[in-house]
Amino acid sequence: MIGTTLPTPIYPLYQQHFGLTQLTVTLIYGVYALGTMSALIFCGAWSDQIGRRPIIFAAIAASALSGILFVIEMNITSLYIARILSGASAGFATGTATVFVIESAPVERRQTATLWATGVNSVGLGLGPVLGGCFAQYGPWPTRLVYIVHLFLLIFATIAVKKAPETVSVVANPSLRIRKLGLPKEAQRAFIPAAIAGIAGYSVLGFFAALTPAFMRSVLGVQNLALAGLMVCLLFIASALGQMTLRLFHDQRAMIVSCIILAGGSLIVASSVFLSSFIALTSGVLLAGIGQGLGFRAGLADVTLTAPATRRGEVNSLYFVVLYTALTLPIVGLGLWSDTHGIRSAGFGFSLIVAALALVALGALFVVQRKRA
C-alpha cells in the first residue's frame, strides 16, 4: 500500500517538469482508481477459488511494474500507465489481503484481525507520502530514488507472502471467467449502510489527499515536499486511529458518529482555505481522517462477518469498488474546478460539498437503520 501513495507529494515536480495543468495532475492521480476497480471487478472473486496468495502475488507484480515505469518516467503516458498499474495492485490486494488476515486469525480474535488488516492498510497509505516527500526533498533523483527503494521493499513482501499459509481450499477446476460481482442476500442488509458511510468517508479521503499538497504550495506558500507528504500522512494515520475507536461503539452507531465527525472536519478545512490557516488545515484533516477510519472499519467488519465464507473475497471486492468510485469523482472535479476558478476557490467549495455529502449520508443511515429495525 505504500507504493500507491508514493507519488502524492511528487506531483508538483511532475507538474513543473511536464508543464501540466492541475486537471491533468488530478487525472493522473485519479486513474489509479480505474486500475483498482478493474482488478476488483474482473478478479475480485478469484481468490475464493484459487487462493489468497496468488492474487497477492499479482498485486506485488503490478506494484513492481508501476515502480519501474515511474523510474523510467519517459512521458506523461508512462505516468498514467504507472498509476493504473498501481491502482491494479491495490485492487488485487485490498479485498483479498483483508480477508486473508481475518481468516488467518482464530475465530475469537476476528474483530482484532479486522483492526490489523484495515489499520495496516491506512498506515501503509500514510507512509507513502512521507517517504515520497522526504526522498524528493532531501535525496538525489527526487522523482526516481524512492521508487527504487520501494522495489526492494517488494522483494521482502514477496518472501513474507510466500511463507504465509493459505487460508482457503483451492478449487480443483476453478472458473476464472470474468463475472459480475454479486451481493449475497445474507450480506445485503449490512452492505447498504456500510456503503453509505464508506462513500462519504472515501469522498473526503480522495478530496483531501488530492487537495493538500497543491493547497499548501499555492495558498499557504509551503514549498517543502516532505512537509506536504507528512500532512497527507496525518490524514491516513488519523484514519487508523479512527478505526481503533470502533470498540467504543456499536457498528451502526459508529457509522453515524463517523459522518458527524467527517462533516465537522470538512467545515474546519473550509475555514482553513478561507483564512489561509495551516493550523486549521491540520485540525480539519485530523478530524476528517478519524471520522473516515471509524466509518470504514465499522462498515468493513459488518460486511465481512455477514458474508458467506465462500464469497467473502467477492463481497469485500464489491465493497471496495463502491469506495474507490467515491474516491475518484471528487478528485476529477477538484482538478476541473481548480483550472477554471483557482485552487483556493476549489478547496473552499469542495470542502463545503464534502461536508454536505457527509450530512446526506448521515440522513440516509438513519433512514436505512429505521427500515432494518
Q: What is the pLDDT of residues 65-80, one digit of tens each?
A: 999 999 998 788 999 9
| Global pTM value | 0.77
Question: Where does the chain have alpha helices with state H?
Answer: 2-5, 11-18, 22-43, 47-50, 52-72, 76-104, 110-138, 145-163, 185-218, 225-244, 251-275, 278-306, 312-341, 343-372
Helix (H, G, I), strand (E, B) or coil at 166: coil
Closest C-alpha among 261, 276, 2 to residue 121? 2
Task: Tell me the average pLDDT of the chain.
Answer: 83
pLDDT attached to residue 144: 92
The single-letter code of the amino acid at 323 is L
Give the span between the Cα atoms of 173 and 314, in whole angstroms: 18
Grid look-up 473550509 returns 270
Region of poorest pLDDT, from 83-92, 188-197, 243-252, 308-317? 243-252
Per-residue pLDDT, 44: 66
Length of the chain as a residue count? 373
The 10s digit of each residue's pLDDT in 185-199 is 877 777 888 888 788
pLDDT, position 62:
95
What pLDDT sits at residue 20? Answer: 84
**Within 13 A of 18's CA, how many CA atoms are on the CB side?**
21
- Half-sphere exposure at residue 342, Cβ-oriented, CA atoms within 13 angstroms: 6
3-state DSSP assignment of residue 12: helix
Residue boundaries of the structural domains of the chain: 2-165+184-372
pLDDT band at 250 (very low <50, low <70, confident <90, very high): low
Residue with cell 486549521: 280
150: nearest Cα among 10, 47, 328, 327: 10
User: Cβ neighbours of residue 308 under 8 Å, at least 6 residues apart?
Assistant: 184, 186, 187
**pLDDT at residue 236 above 80?**
yes
Under 8 Å between Cβ of 201 and 295: yes
Residue 180 CB neighbours (<10 A): 9
pLDDT > 70? residue 180: no
More confident residue, 49 or 77: 77
pLDDT class for 372, splitting at 50, 70, 90?
low
- What is the b/e burial string over 109-139, where b = at least 16 CB atoms within 10 angstroms of the residue's CB? eeeebbbbbbbebbbbbbbbbbbbbbbbbee
Q: Span 2-165+184-372: which CATH code?
A: 1.20.1250.20
pLDDT at 59: 93
Contacts for 144 with CB less than 8 Å, ≥ 6 apart: 70, 71, 73
Give the pLDDT score at 363: 85
Q: Residue 134 has what pLDDT?
A: 92
337 pLDDT above the threshold of 80? no
179 has pLDDT over 70: no
- Whole-number percent of the chain with pLDDT over 90: 20
Which of helix, strand or coil describes residue 310? helix
pLDDT at 343 over 80: no
136-140, 155-159, 172-176, 356-360: which range is least confident on average? 172-176
Give tens-digit pLDDT for 109-160: 877 887 788 778 878 888 999 999 999 999 899 999 999 999 999 999 999 9
Mean pLDDT of 79-92: 92
User: Each residue of 254-270: pLDDT tens digit?
Assistant: 888 988 998 999 899 88
- Using 50, 70 and 90 to split pLDDT, how confident is the model at 373? low
- What's the CA gap between 315 and 357, in Å, rounded? 25
Angle (CA) 176-179-180 rounded to 5° is 150
